[in-house]
Amino acid sequence: MGIVTVSTDGKIKPAFLRRHTNAIENMTLFGGGIHEAGTNIELAPTLFDGDLTTGWRPDIRDVTEDWYVDIDLGRGVFAKSVSLYFDETAEPFSLFELLLSTGEPQIDESNTTFNDILIFRTKKRFKENKSHKLVFELNQYDHTPFRYLRINNLIDVPGAKLTEITVEEFGDNVVLNLLEKSGQINIEIGNDDDQIPLGNAMQLADGNFFTRFRYGRNVRSPEDVWGKITLDLGATFWIDWIKMVSGIVPRPYSKQSGVIGAIGERALSLRRFDFNLYGISTSDGSISPDGNLIWKKEFLNRRSAQNYEQGYADHAFLLTPTRFIRIDWLTWDANCDGDCGAASGIIEELMVFGSGFPREVSFNSGIIDLGNIKNITRLNWLASMPNNTSVEIRTRSGNNLNLKVTYFDKNGKEVTEKKYGKLIPSFRGKIDTAFSPGSDWSSWSRIYSPEERAFLSPAPRRYAEIDVRLTSEDPARAAILDLISLNFSEPLATIVEGEVEPDLVKPGVDTDFTYALRVESVSRNFNRVILEGPNSLEFKETTINEKVVGVISKVEQIDSPNEYAGGQRIVLDFSNPIKSNDLIKIEFVSKIFRQATRFTAFIENETSTQKVESGNADKNAGSNSDIVRLSVDAKVIDNMIFNTHHITPNNDSINDELRIDIDVINVLTPRALTLEIRDLTGKMIYKFSDEITAGKIHLFWNGRDTFQNKVQPGLYFAKISIDTDSPIQSKNRIISVIY
């Protein structure tokens, strides 16, 4: 199971965590299937095809010792029951055995492991069976989880066949295939700088009960030593159950102490939970002010006697959004020479369960190679977003790649190239090569709004990358990415740069600007230039190489979903195509209300539009940027103008109402702007409030109170205030009402 699923029509949806599932349904995802069959192996897959009319039965021509079939679930499971279904048109098997195995192999007296020979320690014999459906319950205290099951038929019943097998397991285990989900495991023991090799660490999440994580060094210290296992689940799941399996598989050991089930000079271990004092914490990935993860403690105590005897421990808690899990355990107790609360911390499997869709899933396109430099114009995407869900998309682009070569030893631990070369061949592991974005790549774009489709990263470029994040605050709901693609074409020019001057201005004041644009190398003819800004623009003139030229110009309003919605664009059509290295300057007037206001330009012909990049277009200009900044002392409310200080609301069209014009500066998200009218006693007469952002704002009062009654003649206080992150800013004036 991955963190997302892809439907046959290409829709991407977060994976849903289930409970009480049939472990056979998805066993092929973990490499499971028919492990072995002594007879009629070609019929064995019908045991899990969902068809009760097909099935498996022994070939009576084969010896009875071969009348068996083994199924590998691909991973170890804690099952509630195993259900067997027989063909109802005939008699069922009457004498047969159900055998279960953790995957424990046969080990001889010399400690040689025979992986092809499984030991089945759970056995159930069914005698004189007449039922066509049998359910073997496995929720007893002493039952062992398993990975393999065997049906061993002992007597021929003419026409009988086993048609289906189901295994009801506890649920979907999140940590299986962890690396494929972009997850990770890190294990630290005290202050040991030598990290546990990944190959060793992954044994606690490989679905195999027989493999296990154990720290192979003897720990000695004058202080307590704690071990720490940290799991990154690769996504933020809703988790409510963690199962730590420490010792359920019997293992041979030397007969120097208690002897259980002697094997020659060796014995088999009992079940054992090899943790004593330990804690479990979860984190959703939130970061504290010091830069560390914020952890929520789910458990901190000693193991129970039951845990010790059964070899595993269950930890249940409320459904919690979880990206990281941390297990801390005392591995050396300095107060009593290493014992008391200490334990070595052996784990055969760490199993994590939850319910519903993840709260957050991120995935990436990888580097998209367009073959050569292309003009990327649009990001097309469609998504289904139920309530309490969202889709966040970002992009970046560039022209260069870095090649990274990573070396590993045989345990999966990353080593340097020099150290790898010194290893003998049998101690060398794999060598990974991967490309990564080069130094010329852009940073990630801002998040695309739901309506936005224009490509936000620099173009033209050869390479691009798309990052997608699906979120949900409701485990029962998920956002679905229906499609995502890029539109691109051959560029109009390979390098097009623009800059604006002046780049530091006073807020809310008409300012003369010059936008300089240079095309270094024209690839396809164009004769249109477009300049966009977030406020009103007044075009004055255009020059090419410092000579005034005639153009056909028009000013248009910008509508949503453009980031400059509410602003204006200047469209300039030149009589002749623009040539390589032409320096175009556009003179215009505008007002600035936001810090770091950007003016964006485009070049265009009949079929293509290309965005101009910020850069050094004019060697005689000093900004090298298309961004304009405000003076550092800019106020939030500025340039407030009253049309009058005396209003006469008698409907003669002369001073019938008060109009207040103000500039709201650098307010990027909607905030409450309020106009209050009070009499000299402080009593509220009229109040108006609205959510606004930076720009020119107009407020009105017609001399009436909140109930639209005319106010008495006299003096009144007018207060304008805006709610900001800093203390509320306000301005006051005295207004007189005269009849």
- Tell me if 17-169 shares its fold with 496-630: no
Q: Is the Cβ–Cβ distance between 410 and 430 less than 8 Å?
A: no
State residue 621's pLDDT score. Answer: 84
Torsion angle of alpha carbons 40, 41, 43, 46, nearest 10°? 150
Tell which residue, 400, 362, 395, 401, has the closest CA to residue 376: 395
Instruction: Identify which of 185, 199, 302, 265 has the alpha carbon closest to the alpha carbon of residue 233.
Output: 185
- In this structure, the number of other CB atoms found within 10 A of the CB of residue 154 comes to 16
Q: How far apart are CA 545 and CA 549, in angstroms?
A: 10
* DSSP at 689: E
Residue 415: predicted pLDDT: 87
pLDDT at 261: 46
Right CATH number for 496-630 from 1.10.150.530, 3.40.50.720, 2.60.40.2230, 1.20.272.10?
2.60.40.2230
The enclosing H or E element of 588 equals strand 583-590
Query: What does the alpha-carbon distance between residue 351 and residue 173 come to, in Å, rounded to a whole number?
Result: 6
Other CB atoms within 10 A of residue 532 CB: 20
What is the distance between the alpha carbons of residues 739 and 733, in angstroms, rounded to a whole number? 20
Res 195: pLDDT: 59
Q: DSSP 3-state assignment of 335?
A: helix
Measure the CA–CA gap between 681 and 435, rounded to whole angstroms: 72
**CA angle in degrees (0–180, nearest 5) for 80-82-87:** 150
Containing 199, the helix (H) or strand (E) segment is: helix 198-201
| Structure-token pair, residue 282 | 């979860």
Burial of 64 (0-12, 13-18, 19+ CB in 10 A): middle
Residue 684 buriedness (CB in 10 A; 0-12 / 13-18 / 19+): exposed
Residues 445, 394 contacting (CB under 8 angstroms): yes
Q: Where are the domains of the chain?
A: 17-169, 179-355, 361-489, 496-630, 637-737
How far is it, in rounded angstroms, from Cα 69 to Cα 84?
13
Calculate the dihedral angle through the C-alpha atoms of 674, 679, 683, 689, rounding to the nearest 10 degrees: -10
Q: Kindly state the tokens that stand for 252.
A: 């041979």
User: Is the CA virtual torsion 99, 103, 104, 108 positive or negative?
Assistant: positive
Give the CA diameter of the chain: 116
CATH topology for 179-355 is Jelly Rolls (2.60.120)
Amino acid code (one letter) for 347: I
Please state, in angstroms and rounded to a whole number, the distance separating the CA atoms of residues 529 and 551. 10
**Cα–Cα distance, 394 to 145 (Å, whole number):** 44
pLDDT at 255: 59
Compute the distance between CA of residue 149 and CA of residue 118 in angstroms, rounded to an integer: 10
SS (H, E, C) 492-505: CECCEEEEEECCEE
Per-block mean pLDDT, blocks of 10 residues, the chain (739 long): 87 94 94 96 96 96 96 95 96 97 80 77 94 89 83 96 96 92 88 66 90 79 89 96 92 58 58 92 94 95 91 95 96 74 87 97 95 95 96 97 89 84 88 91 93 91 97 96 95 93 91 95 94 96 95 93 87 95 96 92 94 92 90 78 91 90 87 92 93 91 92 93 78 90
| Amino acid found at 637 | I
Looking up tokens 């990274």 gives 404
CB 390 within 8 A of CB 485: no
Which residues 6+ apart lie within 8 Å of 156 measured at CB? Answer: 58, 60
For 420-443, give one letter per residue: b (16+ CB within 10 A) or e.
Answer: beeeeeeebbeeeeeeebeeebbe
Is CATH 2.60.120.620 the right assignment for the domain spanning 637-737?
no
The topology (CATH level 3) of 17-169 is: Jelly Rolls (2.60.120)
The first and second tokens of residue 739, run together, are 């009849």
Calpha distance 645→104 (Å, rounded): 92
The number of residues making up the chain comes to 739
> So what's the pLDDT on residue 100?
95
pTM of the model: 0.79
Q: Are 677 and 689 in contact (CB under 8 A)?
A: no
Tokens encoding 586: 């556009």
Q: How far apart are CA 326 and CA 299, in angstroms?
A: 11
